[in-house]
A and B are shown apart, each in its own frame.
Chain A
């Protein structure tokens, strides 16, 4: 496989070179020796990354895991970063068929007042966490940028690192958020296959595939420190999606050398949309994904959310995970306001409901230092 260098090209234009690649045919030719060769190679090529995603590579999962574990400890030490999400609104104009917040969901809509944001911030801050991820649905009317900025200014008082997982913005809008102290962007393409993307995003601004795909580039080119990208597993053959996700991360790493790039690999969970995953992604598959990504991109962060069960999360950590969420809720105001009372609905089901302290104890017992603060407000 001949790969063109990334020179002055957007990710979309660069990845077009892989359009003719037939992954099924490629996998047919992968031999046992190819896998062992990859594991002993110093630098891993894009072709070798694909080799690690092949069905035959599953046989070598333990060898891959040993390599991945060493690379992770070497690059990140025995530490795991903690953060928690704060949902500030669930109003949404998009019709994404897999999401509990989609516009047709008959759920109670809620947007936090600034006082409520402060209350949530106070509670989350008291757990010791200094990294927060701000989430909203997409509604320029209910949650316009000035509202989001007001929320961030409040959060800034309690947190040293603020990431956003909101609707895709224009470059100058990212610039405005960076100016007031946002340092991280989380945005998932959900599905890299353009055709499937079109089928699962029925209407709304999110239907614009390219505008979403290029959001990380727009933010990083304005000076965003960190970008976390992801694919929602279950919408397409995971091997194809993870291949695209991996080369997207590589593209960002090569083009924005001073940025910290991370990857998420969420599996579709039960929610109000009642959507059933189209493709199966087993626990073994997830393990193969984590180790393949770690071996291909030793310096890239891998984030694991509370969508996975406590036991599975703990077992995945040594394979290459660097960041996990703790004390999570996907409910708007879920940290304080709805506790014990009438809950607003979740975006998706959470399987690991442990609080920050429990997660800290678990990490320490497994020989990992929980890192609650890893940035300063400049």
Chain B
């Protein structure tokens, strides 16, 4: 079955996107990306040191990967826009994940500022991936503003609590024409599969892989789960009923009249 995700003119086969924060060393990032065959990788510009010969995180990212720089640390649209422009100027390409956090306690994204940054950066030719608190209205506005996808959180970032926002994400998937990528909160491969079964375009995972005892093994597990969930979605899941079918139907008399 040929099934690819096309975003920003690129064709992506592996729908597991990988985040690079929180790893115990940079070499593991390379092993994770090699083994999981991930194609899209997000890196915070704040962590990239172009001037360092030994410490540049980009040296650990395989050449075939698409770099999605993120604006981690931005507190408002203005800072996110500035970081995006700096990233492009530094040679990090034009894929940008907008991450605007004005609440450091729970790390919830600021939807309003994220929308403002998306409007500006889309016009400037960036391929924009806004990270949001799941909300249909904002998602529609982001689509209208030129976002390449929307990235709702599954549960608060880093919590590994799974797809707690399922009911809302399901509606966003149904209503939008651009891909929906669940980003944040996915703790287990089964939860990543659940996102894909709903029809999400991809899943972005960082903490669950980076803090696993064996990050490389966990990345492989996630990659396979994402693939399985995608195939299930394309194959059309059987409808699950919440009750048994009554053996003495109440409307049976209507059919007996037909004979």
A257 and B83 in contact, given A369-B24, A369-B25 (Cβ under 8 angstroms): no
A73-81, A132-140, A240-248, A288-296: which lies at the interface:
A73-81
B159 sits at the interface (CB 8 A): yes
Closest 9 CB pairs of A and B: A77-B22, A78-B24, A258-B102, A258-B75, A373-B49, A257-B103, A367-B24, A378-B82, A375-B46
Other-chain contact of B49, A74, A76, A259, A372 (Cβ < 8 Å): A372
Q: What's the minimum C-beta distance from B196 to chain A, rounded to whole angstroms?
A: 24
Give the size category of A's interface with B.
20 to 34
The distance in angstroms between the C-alpha atoms of A78 and B211, with both chains bound, is 7
Q: What is the interface size of chain B, counting residues whose CB is below 8 A from a CB of the partner?
A: 33
Q: Is the CB of B46 within 8 A of A128?
A: no
The distance in angstroms between the C-alpha atoms of A162 and B107, with both chains bound, is 23
Question: Which chain A residues border B158 with CB–CB below 8 Å?
Answer: 74-75
Q: Is the CB of B104 within 8 A of A369?
A: no
B34 sits at the interface (CB 8 A): no
B35 sits at the interface (CB 8 A): no
Interface residues of A: mostly helix, strand, loop or mixed?
Answer: loop
Q: Is the CB of A257 within 8 A of B86?
A: no
B62 sits at the interface (CB 8 A): no
Q: Is the CB of B104 within 8 A of A260?
A: yes
The distance in angstroms between the C-alpha atoms of A374 and B45, with both chains bound, is 8
The distance in angstroms between the C-alpha atoms of A261 and B104, with both chains bound, is 9
CB-CB contacts below 8 Å: A241-286 with B: 253-254, 257-261
Q: What's the minimum C-beta distance from A43 to chain B, rounded to whole angstroms?
A: 11
Q: What's the minimum C-beta distance from A46 to chain B, rounded to whole angstroms?
A: 15
B93 sits at the interface (CB 8 A): no
Q: Is the CB of B49 within 8 A of A368?
A: no
The distance in angstroms between the C-alpha atoms of A253 and B102, with both chains bound, is 11
CB-CB contacts below 8 Å: B9-29 with A: 21-26
Question: Which chain B residues border A77 with CB–CB below 8 Å?
Answer: 21-24, 207, 210-211
Q: Is the CB of A253 within 8 A of B104?
A: yes
Q: A258-B102, A261-B104, A369-B26 are in contact. List 4 more A-B contacts (CB 8 A).
A: A74-B159, A74-B211, A299-B104, A369-B24
A364 sits at the interface (CB 8 A): yes
Question: Which chain A residues border B107 with CB–CB below 8 Å?
Answer: 299
Q: Is the CB of A73 within 8 A of B46?
A: no
Question: Which chain B residues border A368 with CB–CB below 8 Å?
Answer: 24
Chain B 127-139 interface 0/1 with A at a Cβ cutoff of 8 Å (1 = within): 0000000000000
Q: Is the CB of A76 within 8 A of B52?
A: no
A350 sits at the interface (CB 8 A): no
Other-chain contact of B104, A76, A258, A375, A376 (Cβ < 8 Å): A258
A371 sits at the interface (CB 8 A): yes
CB-CB contacts below 8 Å: A356-371 with B: 364, 367-369, 371
